[in-house]
Amino acid sequence: MGKKKRETLKKEQTSSPAVVSAGNKDGFSRVRENLLLGVLVLYVFLLGLGTLGEVFEVEWILNLPLFR
């Protein structure tokens, strides 16, 4: 029973630093993910705004240069 406990402990010790360092390995990927998420949110917002303008015929939305 002591041997299995030691093997489990060894696996936990060796895997923990790898997991931690993999998260900090590439800081640019986190920035890129946040940027892509921001672009996606902006796209969905503009898509919804245009849809509202078309469905409810809101003139000020339809007159925006983006939707002409």
In a domain, 42, yes or no: yes
In a domain, 1, yes or no: no
In a domain, 10, yes or no: no
For the entire predicted model, the pTM comes to 0.59
Full residue range of the structural domain in which residue 62 is found: 34-68
Q: Do residues 67 and 58 touch, judged by C-beta distance below 8 A?
A: no
Q: What is the DSSP letter of 67?
A: G
DSSP 25-46: S-HHHHHHHHHHHHHHHHHHHH
In a domain, 49, yes or no: yes
Residue 28: pLDDT band (50, 70, 90) is confident
In a domain, 39, yes or no: yes
Task: Specify the range with the lowest mean pLDDT, choosing from 11-15, 55-59, 64-68.
Answer: 11-15
Structural domains counted in the chain: 1
In a domain, 5, yes or no: no
The secondary structure of the chain in percent helix, strand, coil, rounded to multiples of 5, reads 85, 0, 15
